Amino acid sequence: MEKAIVDRLVDGKHAVLLVGAKEIEKVIPSSKLPSGVTAGTVVKVEFRGDELGSIEADHEETDKTKERIKSKLELLRERSKSKD
């Protein structure tokens, strides 16, 4: 299985995933997303050709990613304040 991130939900019917290190864009029906998955959630996916074989939420990796982003934003805010 590969790691992907749910980039965005569009038109209420589709989800755009960024798959793997190269962040290849794949569009899947949003009905295939596990319950509670929203934009920004990390998922593990398996594709068979262009068809989604399986998908599962990776809540631990999602939490780590969100914490890393939060820390970076705080650092940027501190740098911005010190320049004023």
- 3-state SS assignment for residue 25: strand
Specify the pairing of strand 14-19 against strand 51-57.
unpaired
User: The CATH number of the domain where 8 resides is what?
Assistant: 2.40.50
- Tokens at residue 75, please? 């650092």
- Please count the structural domains in the chain: 1
The pTM (predicted TM-score) of the whole model is 0.83
Q: Model confidence over 5-33: pLDDT tens digits?
A: 999 999 989 999 999 999 999 999 999 99
Domain that holds residue 11: 2-83
- Structure tokens given for 39: 């934009």
* CA-only gyration radius of the chain, Å: 15
CA angle at residue 68 from 67 to 70, to 5 degrees?
A: 60
The average confidence (pLDDT) of the chain is 94
